[in-house]
Amino acid sequence: MKKVRDTETFSLAFLDAITCAFGAVILLLVLTKIYEPQTIERSKEQLAGLIAALQQELFDLRGQTAIMNREMITVDEQLSQSKQAVAKLRGDVSDVRGEYAASKDSAMLDKDARGELVAARQKLTEDMKRLLADYTRNEGDTTVGGIPVDSEYIIFVIDTSGSMFQGPWRLVLQKVEETLSVYPKIKGIQVLNDEGKYMFSSYAGKWIPDSRVARQNIISRLANWNPYSDSSPVEGIAEAINTFYEPGRSVSIYVFGDDFPRGQVEGVARFVSSINKADEHGNRLVRIHGIGFPTQLAGGRMRNAIQFANLMRTLCERNGGTFVALATLR
């Protein structure tokens, strides 16, 4: 009997413990269910805020991407322009190297330059100036001060660059007047700048009939005439020859300038010879004369002055004309 009773007591105690454990679990579940909605709500709010923040960050990134794309396009355009500029500079460097290779050793340039310039100048003495102003030609004499004046048509090709227009421009007017004065009667006049631009657009491509009024109008207009110029007479000479030469027409071109900053003298001379062709006797279609103004000496650009002197001396020699280099700007 004693053994049976002990067993029943143990069984009841175990059931009580199990029941309490289950009760505790149920109580925990009840407590969890009570606070679960608040936790979920807070989680939803946090997720919504996080989504909004991420969306705003996405919008910001898209805006920054658009800005970066525009900046990249601008950079690409600048890079393209820079490449073009570099290509142009390389071409300029190549031209300069070619000119340098054709010239004398740079160490001797200054020394030789002065000698060449002195040789290039055909100085007008006071007697020569007097002859140009007062000389009356005898019958059969076709020169004044060494310059042939046998042409019936005169074309002026004038450098209108800043160094000329802001420098010896009054002297340019004076020399144009003096040149016209030794041609008392001609059939036509024309005035171009070194780029081939006409002084009077209404007479583009045709002659200005010579008259006292026409000469006065030319001098008056020339006083303030300042179209763009690159200081190379090639275009003006080409326009004059190609437009105004006709068989049997006696034409003289007078080139007024002060420098020749780029290009090679021989190349230009050959080009002019190709359009101002010579006949079987060596006579060219037109005469080419030149008058040089010493503006570059005062500006320290002696090399440009020498280039112009060499160019005009070569052109005049090959095209039946005379080059006169003025000694001063007075």
For 42-54, write each residue's pLDDT tens digit.
666 777 777 888 8
Domain ranges of the chain: 1-102, 112-325
Q: Between residues 68 and 135, which one has the greater pLDDT?
A: 68
Q: How confident is the model over 154-174, as a mean pLDDT?
A: 93
The pLDDT assigned to 171 comes to 93
- pLDDT tens digits, 48-95: 777 888 878 887 888 788 787 777 787 777 777 777 777 777 766 666
Q: Is the pLDDT of residue 167 over 70?
A: yes
Lowest pLDDT segment from 7-16, 76-85, 139-148, 204-213: 139-148
The pLDDT assigned to 124 comes to 39
Sheet holding 153-158, edge to edge: 208-209, 188-193, 153-158, 251-257, 287-292, 323-325
The third-level CATH classification (topology) of the domain covering 112-325 is: Rossmann fold (3.40.50)
What CA–CA distance (Å, rounded) separates 250 from 233?
A: 21
Number of Cβ within a 10 Å radius of residue 247: 5
Parallel, antiparallel, or unpaired: how do β-strands 251-257 and 287-292 relate?
parallel
18 pLDDT tier (thresholds 50, 70, 90): confident
Q: Between residues 303 and 197, which one has the greater pLDDT?
A: 197
Paired tokens of 254: 């007078």
Q: Is the pLDDT of residue 114 over 60?
A: no
- pLDDT tens digits, 288-329: 999 999 887 665 567 888 889 999 999 999 999 999 988 887
Round the average pLDDT of the chain to a whole number and report it. 78
Q: Between residues 312 and 143, which one has the greater pLDDT?
A: 312
Q: Is the pLDDT of residue 27 over 90?
A: no
The pLDDT assigned to 128 comes to 42
Share of the chain above pLDDT 70, in %: 72
Number of Cβ within a 10 Å radius of residue 298: 11
- pLDDT tens digits, 217-275: 999 999 999 999 988 999 999 999 999 999 989 999 999 999 888 788 999 999 999 99
Looking at beta carbons, which pairs linking 165-173 to residues 24 or more positions away fall under 8 Å?
165/226, 167/258, 167/293, 167/295, 167/329, 168/258, 168/293, 168/295, 168/329, 169/223, 171/293, 171/326, 171/329, 171/330, 172/222, 172/256, 172/293, 173/219, 173/222, 173/223
The pLDDT assigned to 42 comes to 67
